[in-house]
Amino acid sequence: MPVPPTPWAEELRKLFPNARLVEPLAQHTTFHIGGPADVFIAVEDEERLGALLRFAKERALPSFLIGRGSNLLVRDGGIRGVVLRLEGEFERIEFLEGARVRAGAAAPLPRLVMACAERGLAGAEPLAGVPGTVGGGLVMNAGTREGEIGALTRRVRIFDPERLEGRWLEAPELLFSYRRSNLAGSMILVGELVLKAGEKRDILRRVQEQQQRRLRTQPIHTFNVGSVFKNPPGHFAAKLIEEAGLKGLRQGGAKVSELHANFIENDKGASAADVLALIEAVRGKVRERSGVALELEVKVVGEA
Ligand SMILES: Cc1cc2nc3c(=O)[nH]c(=O)nc-3n(C[C@H](O)[C@H](O)[C@H](O)COP(=O)(O)OP(=O)(O)OC[C@H]3O[C@@H](n4cnc5c(N)ncnc54)[C@H](O)[C@@H]3O)c2cc1C
Protein backbone atom coordinates (compact mmCIF):
# COMPACT_ATOMS: atom_id res chain seq x y z
CA MET A 1 0.00 0.00 0.00
CA PRO A 2 1.57 3.39 -0.93
CA VAL A 3 2.63 5.41 2.07
CA PRO A 4 1.99 9.19 2.08
CA PRO A 5 5.21 11.23 2.26
CA THR A 6 5.91 12.16 5.87
CA PRO A 7 7.45 15.46 7.06
CA TRP A 8 10.75 13.70 7.79
CA ALA A 9 10.82 12.27 4.28
CA GLU A 10 10.52 15.75 2.75
CA GLU A 11 13.23 17.02 5.13
CA LEU A 12 15.46 14.12 4.12
CA ARG A 13 14.98 14.95 0.48
CA LYS A 14 16.56 18.37 1.12
CA LEU A 15 19.71 16.62 2.38
CA PHE A 16 19.56 13.86 -0.23
CA PRO A 17 17.95 15.17 -3.41
CA ASN A 18 18.28 11.67 -4.91
CA ALA A 19 15.94 10.23 -2.22
CA ARG A 20 12.90 8.55 -3.75
CA LEU A 21 9.65 8.42 -1.83
CA VAL A 22 7.36 5.36 -1.91
CA GLU A 23 9.85 3.42 -4.02
CA PRO A 24 8.63 -0.04 -5.14
CA LEU A 25 11.21 -2.53 -3.88
CA ALA A 26 10.15 -5.00 -6.57
CA GLN A 27 12.49 -2.92 -8.75
CA HIS A 28 15.41 -3.70 -6.46
CA THR A 29 15.09 -7.47 -5.95
CA THR A 30 15.86 -10.33 -8.33
CA PHE A 31 12.45 -11.82 -7.43
CA HIS A 32 10.85 -8.61 -8.81
CA ILE A 33 8.61 -8.74 -5.75
CA GLY A 34 8.25 -6.31 -2.85
CA GLY A 35 6.10 -3.43 -1.61
CA PRO A 36 7.38 0.15 -1.27
CA ALA A 37 10.12 1.64 0.87
CA ASP A 38 8.96 4.88 2.57
CA VAL A 39 12.22 6.37 1.33
CA PHE A 40 14.93 4.83 -0.85
CA ILE A 41 18.38 6.41 -1.02
CA ALA A 42 21.57 5.45 -2.83
CA VAL A 43 24.63 6.55 -0.81
CA GLU A 44 28.01 6.99 -2.46
CA ASP A 45 30.54 7.45 0.39
CA GLU A 46 31.12 7.02 4.12
CA GLU A 47 30.56 10.70 4.88
CA ARG A 48 27.09 10.70 3.25
CA LEU A 49 26.29 7.42 4.98
CA GLY A 50 27.20 9.00 8.31
CA ALA A 51 24.94 11.99 7.59
CA LEU A 52 22.05 9.72 6.63
CA LEU A 53 22.37 7.44 9.65
CA ARG A 54 22.71 10.44 11.98
CA PHE A 55 19.47 11.81 10.55
CA ALA A 56 17.76 8.43 11.03
CA LYS A 57 19.12 8.00 14.56
CA GLU A 58 17.97 11.46 15.69
CA ARG A 59 14.43 10.63 14.57
CA ALA A 60 14.48 6.98 15.64
CA LEU A 61 13.79 5.93 12.05
CA PRO A 62 14.50 2.35 11.07
CA SER A 63 17.00 1.84 8.26
CA PHE A 64 17.58 -1.22 6.08
CA LEU A 65 20.52 -1.86 3.77
CA ILE A 66 19.79 -3.64 0.51
CA GLY A 67 22.41 -5.16 -1.77
CA ARG A 68 21.45 -6.63 -5.11
CA GLY A 69 18.26 -8.02 -3.50
CA SER A 70 19.21 -11.51 -4.68
CA ASN A 71 18.49 -13.22 -1.38
CA LEU A 72 15.50 -11.16 -0.29
CA LEU A 73 11.76 -11.62 -0.20
CA VAL A 74 10.27 -8.21 0.62
CA ARG A 75 6.68 -8.56 1.84
CA ASP A 76 3.89 -6.77 -0.04
CA GLY A 77 3.51 -3.95 2.54
CA GLY A 78 7.12 -2.87 1.93
CA ILE A 79 9.63 -1.48 4.42
CA ARG A 80 9.08 1.44 6.78
CA GLY A 81 11.73 4.10 7.26
CA VAL A 82 14.78 4.37 5.03
CA VAL A 83 16.02 1.69 2.66
CA LEU A 84 19.54 2.42 1.48
CA ARG A 85 21.78 1.03 -1.19
CA LEU A 86 25.51 1.61 -1.40
CA GLU A 87 27.10 2.76 -4.64
CA GLY A 88 29.98 5.06 -5.79
CA GLU A 89 33.10 4.48 -3.68
CA PHE A 90 31.52 1.32 -2.27
CA GLU A 91 31.70 -0.31 -5.71
CA ARG A 92 35.49 -0.01 -5.91
CA ILE A 93 37.74 -3.07 -6.25
CA GLU A 94 41.43 -2.53 -5.41
CA PHE A 95 44.29 -5.02 -5.58
CA LEU A 96 46.90 -4.83 -2.82
CA GLU A 97 50.24 -6.56 -2.43
CA GLY A 98 50.28 -10.14 -1.16
CA ALA A 99 47.38 -11.42 -3.33
CA ARG A 100 44.96 -9.28 -1.35
CA VAL A 101 41.90 -7.62 -2.80
CA ARG A 102 39.87 -4.86 -1.14
CA ALA A 103 36.31 -4.80 -2.44
CA GLY A 104 33.62 -2.28 -1.61
CA ALA A 105 30.41 -3.77 -0.21
CA ALA A 106 28.46 -2.72 -3.30
CA ALA A 107 30.85 -4.35 -5.76
CA PRO A 108 29.00 -7.12 -7.61
CA LEU A 109 30.40 -10.59 -6.83
CA PRO A 110 30.52 -11.50 -10.56
CA ARG A 111 32.77 -8.48 -11.18
CA LEU A 112 35.00 -9.43 -8.24
CA VAL A 113 35.33 -13.01 -9.52
CA MET A 114 36.30 -11.85 -13.01
CA ALA A 115 38.70 -9.17 -11.74
CA CYS A 116 40.53 -11.77 -9.61
CA ALA A 117 40.63 -14.25 -12.50
CA GLU A 118 42.04 -11.61 -14.87
CA ARG A 119 44.84 -10.89 -12.35
CA GLY A 120 45.70 -14.58 -11.99
CA LEU A 121 44.38 -14.72 -8.43
CA ALA A 122 42.69 -17.98 -7.47
CA GLY A 123 40.12 -18.75 -4.76
CA ALA A 124 37.05 -16.75 -5.71
CA GLU A 125 35.88 -19.19 -8.44
CA PRO A 126 33.26 -20.88 -6.21
CA LEU A 127 31.46 -17.53 -6.14
CA ALA A 128 31.09 -17.42 -9.94
CA GLY A 129 27.44 -16.94 -10.79
CA VAL A 130 26.37 -15.74 -7.33
CA PRO A 131 24.62 -12.53 -8.39
CA GLY A 132 24.84 -10.58 -5.10
CA THR A 133 27.18 -7.89 -3.82
CA VAL A 134 30.29 -8.30 -1.68
CA GLY A 135 28.36 -6.97 1.37
CA GLY A 136 25.42 -9.32 0.87
CA GLY A 137 27.86 -12.15 0.19
CA LEU A 138 29.75 -11.55 3.45
CA VAL A 139 26.58 -11.39 5.56
CA MET A 140 25.30 -14.60 3.98
CA ASN A 141 28.73 -16.27 3.74
CA ALA A 142 27.81 -16.88 0.14
CA GLY A 143 29.32 -19.76 -1.77
CA THR A 144 28.91 -23.28 -2.96
CA ARG A 145 30.12 -26.73 -1.95
CA GLU A 146 33.44 -25.74 -3.56
CA GLY A 147 34.01 -22.84 -1.18
CA GLU A 148 32.56 -19.81 0.61
CA ILE A 149 33.56 -16.14 0.81
CA GLY A 150 34.19 -16.35 4.57
CA ALA A 151 37.19 -18.65 4.07
CA LEU A 152 38.87 -15.94 1.96
CA THR A 153 38.07 -13.02 4.24
CA ARG A 154 40.86 -11.32 6.16
CA ARG A 155 39.04 -8.28 7.48
CA VAL A 156 35.80 -6.36 7.06
CA ARG A 157 35.06 -2.67 7.46
CA ILE A 158 31.69 -1.98 9.06
CA PHE A 159 29.86 1.20 10.00
CA ASP A 160 29.85 1.67 13.78
CA PRO A 161 26.33 2.86 14.66
CA GLU A 162 27.43 4.40 17.99
CA ARG A 163 30.42 6.40 16.73
CA LEU A 164 28.76 6.93 13.34
CA GLU A 165 31.95 6.07 11.47
CA GLY A 166 33.62 3.09 9.85
CA ARG A 167 35.93 0.65 11.66
CA TRP A 168 37.74 -2.58 10.74
CA LEU A 169 36.94 -5.99 12.17
CA GLU A 170 39.92 -8.36 11.92
CA ALA A 171 39.74 -12.08 11.07
CA PRO A 172 39.58 -13.36 14.69
CA GLU A 173 36.44 -11.26 15.26
CA LEU A 174 34.67 -12.73 12.23
CA LEU A 175 32.60 -15.91 12.42
CA PHE A 176 31.38 -17.67 9.29
CA SER A 177 29.41 -20.88 8.95
CA TYR A 178 27.02 -22.33 6.36
CA ARG A 179 25.06 -19.30 4.97
CA ARG A 180 25.59 -17.44 8.21
CA SER A 181 27.98 -14.91 9.74
CA ASN A 182 28.20 -12.73 12.81
CA LEU A 183 27.98 -9.70 10.48
CA ALA A 184 24.18 -9.87 10.29
CA GLY A 185 22.83 -6.56 11.60
CA SER A 186 26.06 -4.66 10.81
CA MET A 187 26.47 -2.40 7.82
CA ILE A 188 29.39 -3.72 5.82
CA LEU A 189 31.36 -1.12 3.86
CA VAL A 190 34.40 -3.02 2.56
CA GLY A 191 35.73 -6.57 2.58
CA GLU A 192 39.39 -7.52 2.30
CA LEU A 193 40.04 -10.99 0.89
CA VAL A 194 43.23 -13.00 0.52
CA LEU A 195 43.61 -15.12 -2.62
CA LYS A 196 46.38 -17.29 -4.04
CA ALA A 197 48.52 -16.74 -7.11
CA GLY A 198 47.41 -19.08 -9.90
CA GLU A 199 47.35 -19.60 -13.66
CA LYS A 200 44.94 -17.15 -15.25
CA ARG A 201 43.90 -19.72 -17.88
CA ASP A 202 43.03 -22.37 -15.25
CA ILE A 203 41.16 -19.89 -13.11
CA LEU A 204 39.09 -18.65 -16.06
CA ARG A 205 38.33 -22.27 -17.00
CA ARG A 206 37.04 -23.02 -13.48
CA VAL A 207 34.88 -19.84 -13.56
CA GLN A 208 33.44 -20.91 -16.88
CA GLU A 209 32.73 -24.43 -15.60
CA GLN A 210 30.81 -23.01 -12.64
CA GLN A 211 28.78 -20.76 -14.93
CA GLN A 212 27.97 -23.60 -17.33
CA ARG A 213 26.92 -25.88 -14.45
CA ARG A 214 24.52 -23.19 -13.27
CA LEU A 215 23.08 -22.76 -16.74
CA ARG A 216 22.34 -26.49 -16.87
CA THR A 217 20.99 -26.89 -13.36
CA GLN A 218 19.42 -23.57 -12.28
CA PRO A 219 16.61 -21.45 -13.80
CA ILE A 220 18.90 -18.42 -13.86
CA HIS A 221 16.90 -16.57 -16.52
CA THR A 222 13.76 -16.43 -14.36
CA PHE A 223 12.90 -14.05 -11.52
CA ASN A 224 14.14 -15.90 -8.41
CA VAL A 225 16.40 -15.59 -5.37
CA GLY A 226 18.49 -18.71 -5.69
CA SER A 227 18.04 -21.45 -3.11
CA VAL A 228 15.01 -20.76 -0.95
CA PHE A 229 15.89 -23.28 1.78
CA LYS A 230 19.20 -24.22 3.39
CA ASN A 231 20.39 -27.78 3.00
CA PRO A 232 19.48 -29.51 6.29
CA PRO A 233 22.40 -31.45 7.86
CA GLY A 234 22.84 -34.69 5.91
CA HIS A 235 20.28 -33.76 3.22
CA PHE A 236 19.84 -31.67 0.08
CA ALA A 237 16.77 -29.44 0.20
CA ALA A 238 16.23 -29.76 -3.57
CA LYS A 239 16.21 -33.58 -3.35
CA LEU A 240 13.72 -33.58 -0.45
CA ILE A 241 11.40 -31.24 -2.36
CA GLU A 242 11.69 -33.23 -5.58
CA GLU A 243 11.06 -36.54 -3.76
CA ALA A 244 7.91 -35.03 -2.27
CA GLY A 245 6.72 -34.51 -5.88
CA LEU A 246 6.59 -30.73 -5.57
CA LYS A 247 8.36 -29.56 -8.76
CA GLY A 248 5.94 -27.30 -10.63
CA LEU A 249 3.72 -26.75 -7.55
CA ARG A 250 2.02 -23.36 -7.85
CA GLN A 251 0.54 -20.70 -5.64
CA GLY A 252 -0.80 -17.66 -7.50
CA GLY A 253 2.02 -16.41 -9.72
CA ALA A 254 4.73 -18.37 -7.86
CA LYS A 255 5.98 -21.79 -8.87
CA VAL A 256 8.47 -24.38 -7.61
CA SER A 257 11.02 -24.55 -10.45
CA GLU A 258 10.85 -27.57 -12.73
CA LEU A 259 14.64 -27.34 -13.24
CA HIS A 260 15.81 -26.98 -9.61
CA ALA A 261 13.32 -27.83 -6.88
CA ASN A 262 14.95 -25.50 -4.30
CA PHE A 263 14.22 -22.46 -6.50
CA ILE A 264 10.88 -20.65 -6.54
CA GLU A 265 10.16 -18.66 -9.68
CA ASN A 266 8.02 -15.57 -9.92
CA ASP A 267 6.65 -16.38 -13.34
CA LYS A 268 3.28 -14.65 -13.37
CA GLY A 269 3.43 -11.46 -11.29
CA ALA A 270 3.58 -13.28 -7.95
CA SER A 271 3.05 -11.39 -4.71
CA ALA A 272 5.17 -12.00 -1.63
CA ALA A 273 2.06 -13.57 -0.08
CA ASP A 274 1.99 -16.11 -2.96
CA VAL A 275 5.63 -17.01 -2.36
CA LEU A 276 5.16 -17.28 1.41
CA ALA A 277 2.12 -19.55 0.94
CA LEU A 278 4.13 -21.72 -1.45
CA ILE A 279 7.03 -21.87 1.03
CA GLU A 280 4.65 -23.06 3.75
CA ALA A 281 3.09 -25.67 1.43
CA VAL A 282 6.55 -27.01 0.50
CA ARG A 283 7.68 -27.09 4.14
CA GLY A 284 4.52 -28.89 5.24
CA LYS A 285 4.70 -31.54 2.51
CA VAL A 286 8.44 -32.18 2.98
CA ARG A 287 7.97 -32.53 6.76
CA GLU A 288 5.06 -34.93 6.16
CA ARG A 289 7.03 -37.09 3.74
CA SER A 290 10.53 -37.11 5.19
CA GLY A 291 10.19 -35.71 8.71
CA VAL A 292 12.75 -32.98 7.90
CA ALA A 293 12.07 -29.33 8.83
CA LEU A 294 13.33 -26.96 6.10
CA GLU A 295 14.94 -23.70 7.25
CA LEU A 296 14.82 -20.61 5.05
CA GLU A 297 17.97 -19.36 3.32
CA VAL A 298 16.14 -16.41 1.76
CA LYS A 299 15.64 -13.44 4.10
CA VAL A 300 12.03 -12.35 4.50
CA VAL A 301 11.68 -8.67 5.41
CA GLY A 302 9.08 -5.91 5.49
CA GLU A 303 5.39 -5.70 6.37
CA ALA A 304 2.59 -7.99 5.22
C1 LIG B 1 20.25 -17.20 -9.60
C2 LIG B 1 20.79 -17.10 -8.19
C3 LIG B 1 21.79 -17.96 -7.78
C4 LIG B 1 22.31 -17.89 -6.49
N5 LIG B 1 23.30 -18.75 -6.12
C6 LIG B 1 23.83 -18.67 -4.89
C7 LIG B 1 24.88 -19.55 -4.50
O8 LIG B 1 25.34 -20.40 -5.24
N9 LIG B 1 25.39 -19.41 -3.25
C10 LIG B 1 24.92 -18.49 -2.38
O11 LIG B 1 25.44 -18.40 -1.26
N12 LIG B 1 23.92 -17.65 -2.72
C13 LIG B 1 23.37 -17.72 -3.95
N14 LIG B 1 22.35 -16.86 -4.30
C15 LIG B 1 21.78 -15.94 -3.28
C16 LIG B 1 22.41 -14.54 -3.21
O17 LIG B 1 22.96 -14.14 -4.45
C18 LIG B 1 23.46 -14.43 -2.13
O19 LIG B 1 22.92 -14.73 -0.84
C20 LIG B 1 24.09 -13.04 -2.09
O21 LIG B 1 25.21 -13.06 -1.25
C22 LIG B 1 23.13 -11.96 -1.60
O23 LIG B 1 23.73 -10.69 -1.85
P24 LIG B 1 22.86 -9.39 -2.14
O25 LIG B 1 23.77 -8.26 -2.32
O26 LIG B 1 21.90 -9.65 -3.22
O27 LIG B 1 22.10 -9.25 -0.75
P28 LIG B 1 20.56 -8.86 -0.53
O29 LIG B 1 19.70 -9.95 -1.04
O30 LIG B 1 20.32 -7.49 -0.98
O31 LIG B 1 20.51 -8.88 1.06
C32 LIG B 1 20.65 -10.10 1.79
C33 LIG B 1 20.91 -9.74 3.25
O34 LIG B 1 22.19 -9.12 3.33
C35 LIG B 1 22.07 -7.83 3.91
N36 LIG B 1 23.06 -6.95 3.27
C37 LIG B 1 23.22 -6.67 1.95
N38 LIG B 1 24.25 -5.84 1.78
C39 LIG B 1 24.77 -5.60 3.00
C40 LIG B 1 25.85 -4.82 3.51
N41 LIG B 1 26.63 -4.08 2.72
N42 LIG B 1 26.05 -4.80 4.85
C43 LIG B 1 25.28 -5.52 5.68
N44 LIG B 1 24.25 -6.26 5.29
C45 LIG B 1 24.00 -6.31 3.96
C46 LIG B 1 20.65 -7.37 3.65
O47 LIG B 1 20.24 -6.41 4.61
C48 LIG B 1 19.92 -8.70 3.80
O49 LIG B 1 19.70 -9.01 5.16
C50 LIG B 1 21.80 -16.93 -5.60
C51 LIG B 1 20.79 -16.04 -6.01
C52 LIG B 1 20.30 -16.12 -7.30
C53 LIG B 1 19.23 -15.16 -7.73
User: What's the mean per-residue pLDDT of the chain?
Assistant: 96
Where residue 251 falls among pLDDT bands split at 50, 70, 90? very high
CA separation for the pair 54, 47 (Å, rounded): 11
The pLDDT value given to residue 180: 97
**Span from the CA of 132 to the centroid of ligand 1 (angstroms):** 5
Q: pLDDT digits over 128-156, tens only? A: 999 999 999 999 999 999 999 999 999 99
CATH of domain 7-86: 3.30.43.10
Q: Calculate what percentage of the chain has a pLDDT beyond 70.
A: 98
DSSP 28-74: GSTT----EEEEEEEE-SHHHHHHHHHHHHHTT--EEEESS-SSEEE
- Interval 248-271 mean pLDDT: 98
CA separation for the pair 62, 80 (Å, rounded): 7
Q: Is 85 in the pocket of ligand 1 (CB under 6 A)?
A: no
CA 132-130-174 angle, 5° bins: 70
Q: Among 53, 139, 144, which residue has the most ligand 1 atoms within 8 Å of its CB, making it the best to mutate?
A: 139
**Span from the CA of 199 to the centroid of ligand 1 (angstroms):** 29
- Interval 14-41 mean pLDDT: 97
Helix (H, G, I), strand (E, B) or coil at 289: helix
**Span from the CA of 43 to the centroid of ligand 1 (angstroms):** 19
Nearest CA owner, ligand 1 atom 19:
71
**Span from the CA of 133 to the centroid of ligand 1 (angstroms):** 7
Distance of CA 46 to the CA centre of its chain: 21
Of 1 and 281, which is predicted with more confidence? Answer: 281
Nearest CA owner, ligand 1 atom 28:
69
Architecture of domain 219-301: Alpha-Beta Complex (3.90)
Beta strand pairing call for 36-43 and 79-86: parallel
Lowest mean pLDDT among 25-29, 69-73, 160-164, 264-268: 160-164
The pLDDT value given to residue 3: 53
Q: Which amino acid is at 303?
A: E
Lowest mean pLDDT among 2-6, 166-170, 263-267, 270-274: 2-6
For the chain, the structural domain boundaries read 7-86, 91-216, 219-301
Q: Is 219 in the pocket of ligand 1 (CB under 6 A)?
A: no
Q: Is the dihedral of CA 174, 180, 182, 184 positive or negative?
A: positive
* Domain 91-216 fold: 3.30.465
List the beta strands (DSSP E) in the chain. 20-24, 36-43, 63-66, 72-74, 79-86, 93-96, 100-104, 121-122, 143-144, 147-148, 153-160, 165-170, 176-177, 180-181, 187-194, 196-197, 250-251, 254-256, 264-266, 299-301
Nearest CA owner, ligand 1 atom 43:
187
What CA–CA distances, in Å, run from 177 to 124, 142, 143, 214, 233? 17, 10, 11, 23, 13
Q: Which amino acid is at 34?
A: G
Q: Is 140 in the pocket of ligand 1 (CB under 6 A)?
A: yes
Among all residues, which ones are annotated catalytic?
A: 179, 227, 297
**Span from the CA of 6 to the centroid of ligand 1 (angstroms):** 30
